[in-house]
A and B are shown apart, each in its own frame.
Chain A
Amino acid sequence: MMTNDLQDIAATLDNAMFSATATPQLGGTLSLDDAYAIQAMSFDRRLERGEVRVGMKMGFTSRAKMVQMGVDEMIWGRLTDKMLVEEGGSISKADYVHPRCEPEIAFLLKKPLAGRVTALQAQTAIEAIAPAIEVIDSRYENFKFSLTDVVADNSSSSGVVIGAWNSVPDDISNLGMVLSQNGKAVEIGSSAAILGHPIRSLIAASRLVEERGEVLEAGSIVLAGGATAAIALSAGDKVKLDVEQLGRVNFSVEP
């Protein structure tokens, strides 16, 4: 597809995000390369508005989700400082189209990671680990999209609440996670849902960004992927995530 056409789509998706208005799906003519090109162009528009890149998020990191989407590869999206929600703070539902959230684990890197890396290289690049709740929002009508649609739409990333940073426990392969909405446990899972072990997500992240000519920079945040199904958010919701050994994250939803 021509660059101008891709730029037009990037502008449409950026406007949909900025105005919190749903937009129709893009349709099936895009390649995955096109989709990532649109994501990058759309992201550049955010940077031009003064936002600062802080990291990236991984998506489709559970086998069940890949099967559900009919794909066999993970996807990723970019995070800016504007997407960071203060821990214990709130989001305004009006800023989103149809927000959902899911429990995650966040890595903070102290060293860059580039291309294919070993588990040891990935592990030694981690400065800290934190419990996190990702706020996802599709800019498409009814939260319905194809693989290329969602990649073009920054892989539905829209916000993240990150808890206190911890040193990395000896074993992060099976940390229990309980997501509560208004005091009731609604999703219960384990970090094992993230590719069997969250470190695999960091390894994949390094490989996937290299395919687009990028590296994971020191100081950047990597969201490893949702550990349970996402829950829909309504105004007035109080959301809490407890992660074994890592602690708690809270936020609330205002109208």
Chain B
Amino acid sequence: MSETQIQKIADQLDEALRDARSIPPIVDQLQAGDVDTAYAIQEINTARALAEGRRLVGRKIGLTSQKVQAQLGVDQCDFGMLFADMSVDENGTVPFGKLIQPKVEAEIGFVLKSDLTEGALTLVDIVNAIDYAVPCLEIVDSRIADWQISIVDTIADNASSGLFVTGTEKVDISALDLRLCGMVIELDGEPVSLGAGAACLGNPLNAVKWLAETMVRSGRPLKAGDLVLSGALGPMFPAKPGDSFEARISGLGSVRVQFETDTALAETA
């Protein structure tokens, strides 16, 4: 595939993100399963964002559930870039119009205290590099119409990143049972997504290790201070205007977000 073609697809995704409208799957424009080209497309938009002065604050790991991997017919995770302007205040309100088809998922956010620059890492390295954990609600969104994504669609589309909300209390990971910690997302008080740490590659630290090694290979290694959204602990759930979500993760506390109501949309229209 030519660089011009790759650039064209990156431009399509970038415009879709800016305009908050979806485009048809891009998999039709490249070979199914061509993960390298998909990451090349993502990287064009990462470079574009950095050139515009957006601040890179971390990464998200996607496809960390065996069920989701099976649905997409893949046996690996993927990653996307987190920029400071994607962060939503705790218990903040999300403007629905900036999003296309948002869904929420709950996960553990890890903040690093040291760089991870070695290409071969152990879980001991990961444990040593983590400063603290926070509960997170990730608001995923897809620029691909109706979430009809294949692996290359989501990778090229920054791993279907949207926005994210982090809790505000630092928790030492030695206080957590990372495999068995319970997770629940409540919509207006009703449980809508349930899970536990094991849903993320058996243990969220397995996902962080995969990411750290992958980032070294990709040339953007994880650095001290980076936030890593390690992957959903249960199914994602679609959000509507007016919804209020609270995610609780055992040992980590809770984090909240609200989606703008239809009335607010009408006022801004």
The answer, yes or no, to whether A215 is at the interface (CB within 8 Å) is no
Partner of B182, one of A62, A63, A192, A196: A192
Query: Which of A50-58, A146-154, A183-191 faces chain B?
Result: A183-191
**Nearest neighbor of A193 in chain B, beta-carbon distance:** B194
Within 8 A of A (CB), among B145-196: 177, 179-184, 186, 189-191, 194-196
Which residue on chain A has the smallest CB distance to residue B248?
Answer: A174
Q: A176-B250, A196-B189 are in contact. Are A188 and B181 (CB under 8 A)?
A: no
Q: Is the CB of B202 within 8 A of A176?
A: no
Please judge, given known A-B contacts A177-B196, A188-B198, whether A63 and B180 are in contact too, CB under 8 Å: no
Of A173, A178, A190, A228, the most chain B CB neighbours within 10 A belong to A190
In this complex, the member of A63, A173, A176 whose beta carbon has the largest number of chain B beta carbons within 10 angstroms is A176
CB distance from A191 to the nearest CB of B (A): 6
- Contacting residues, chain A, for B199 (C-beta < 8 A): 188
Which residues of A have CB within 8 Å of B62?
Answer: none
- In the bound assembly, the distance between CA atoms of A242 and B190 in angstroms comes to 24
Of the candidates A62, A185, A188, A245, which one forms a contact with B234 in the assembled complex, judged by CB atoms under 8 Å apart?
A188
Per a CB cutoff under 8 Å, which of B183, B186, B189 touches A176?
A: B183
Q: Contact mask A58-98 → B, CB, 8 Å, 1/0?
A: 00001100000000000000000000000000000000000
Which of B177, B184, B190, B197 counts the most A-chain CB atoms under 10 A from its CB? B184
| A: interface residue count bin | 20 to 34
Inter-chain CA distance A103–B197, complex, in Å, is 16
Among residues of A, the one whose C-beta sits closest to the C-beta of B177 is A244
Given A176-B250, A177-B196, A244-B250: A196 and B190 within 8 A (CB)? yes
Mask for A154-186, Cβ within 8 A of B = 1, else 0?
A: 000000000000000001011111100000010
By size class, the interface of chain B is: 20 to 34
Q: Are B180 and A174 in contact (CB under 8 A)?
A: no
Nearest B-chain residue to A196, judged by Cβ: B191
Smallest Cβ-Cβ distance to B65: which chain A residue: A188
Give a binary string over B55-68; 1 marks a CB under 8 Å from any A CB, 0 the rest. 00000000000100
CB neighbors of A among B191-241 (8 A): 191, 194-199, 202, 234
Does the CB pair B195–A190 fall under 8 Å? yes
- Which of A174, A178, A242, A243: most chain B CB closer than 10 A? A174
What's the least CB distance linking A193 to chain B, in Å? 5
- Alpha-carbon distance between A204 and B194 when the two chains are bound, in angstroms: 22
A192 partner, pick from B177, B180, B197, B248, beta carbons under 8 A: B248
| A192 contacts across to B, CB distance below 8 A | 182, 184, 186, 191, 194, 248
* Min C-beta distance of A104 to chain B, whole Å: 14
Question: Does B190 lie within 8 Å of A174, measured CB to CB?
Answer: no
Could you tell me if A188 and B195 are in contact, using CB atoms closer than 8 angstroms? yes
**Option from A171, A193, A228, A243 in Cβ contact (under 8 Å) with B191:** A193
Complex CA gap A190/B195 in Å reads 6
Alpha-carbon separation in the docked complex, A233 to B248 (Å): 32
Chain B residue nearest to A188 (CB atoms) is B199
B184 partner residues in chain A, CB cutoff 8 A:
174, 190, 192-193, 196
Chain A residues with Cβ below 8 Å from B234 are 188-190
A242 to chain B minimum Cβ distance, whole angstroms, is 6
Structural contact, A244 and B180, CB atoms closer than 8 A: yes
Q: Bound complex: CA of A175 vs CA of B251, how far in Å?
A: 10
Is the CB–CB distance between B190 and A178 below 8 Å? no
Give A72 Cβ to nearest chain B Cβ, in Å. 13
Docked pose: A174 CA to B186 CA in angstroms:
12
The contact of B181 among A63, A227, A244, by CB within 8 Å, is A244
Q: Which of B182, B189, B202 contacts A174 (CB 8 A)?
A: B182
B198:A190 contact, CB within 8 angstroms: no
A175: chain B residues within 8 A (beta carbon): 180, 182, 250
Q: List 24 A-B contacts (CB under 8 A).
A: A63-B191, A174-B250, A175-B250, A176-B177, A176-B182, A176-B197, A178-B179, A178-B196, A185-B198, A185-B202, A188-B195, A189-B196, A190-B182, A190-B250, A192-B248, A193-B184, A193-B191, A196-B184, A196-B190, A228-B194, A243-B180, A244-B177, A244-B196, A245-B180
A-B interface, 3 closest residue pairs, ranked by CB to CB distance from nearest: A176-B196, A190-B182, A192-B184
A residues with a Cβ closer than 8 A to B are: 62-63, 171, 173-178, 185, 188-193, 196, 227-228, 242-245
Contacts A178-B180, A196-B189 known; 16 new A-B pairs at CB < 8 A: A63-B190, A176-B177, A176-B179, A176-B181, A177-B196, A185-B66, A185-B202, A188-B196, A188-B199, A188-B234, A189-B182, A189-B196, A190-B196, A190-B234, A192-B182, A196-B190
Could you list which residues of chain B lie within 8 angstroms of chain A, going by C-beta atoms?
66, 177, 179-184, 186, 189-191, 194-199, 202, 234, 248-250
